[in-house]
């Protein structure tokens, strides 16, 4: 059975506290929320992801900007 590359590679982990902002490198396009709620902005579009939700970001010349939406630490797995 074939698996996507991201399923084979170990993800990087990012932890953000309230009021922290992170620019996701363009080499990372897949995001899964492990804890908290993520607010992701990419190309003037907002994406809200709750715990256990996952998304594949479209290709862009701009980095995605990520922040935590509540007082709970935001923990992400990114590929």
**Assign residue 52 a region: left if phi > 0, alpha if psi is -120 to 50, beta otherwise?**
left
State residue 32's pLDDT score: 98
Low-confidence ranges of the chain (pLDDT < 50): 1-3
Residue recorded with tokens 């630490």:
73
C-alpha distances in Å from residue 23, one per residue of 8, 11, 20, 48, 51: 24, 16, 10, 16, 20
Per residue in 22-33, pLDDT (tens digit) is 999 999 999 999
Can you identify the CATH homologous superfamily of domain 15-78?
Jelly Rolls (2.60.120.10)
State residue 10's pLDDT score: 85
State residue 15's pLDDT score: 98
CA distance 22 to 67: 6
State residue 60's pLDDT score: 94
């Amino acid at each position: 059975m074939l698996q996507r590359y991201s399923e084979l590679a170990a993800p990087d982990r990012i932890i953000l506290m309230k009021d922290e902002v992170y620019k996701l490198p363009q080499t990372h396009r897949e995001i899964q929320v492990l804890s908290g709620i993520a607010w992701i902005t990419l190309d003037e579009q907002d994406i809200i992801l709750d715990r256990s939700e996952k998304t594949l970001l479209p290709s862009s010349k701009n980095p995605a900007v990520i922040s935590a939406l509540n007082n709970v630490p935001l923990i992400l797995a990114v590929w």
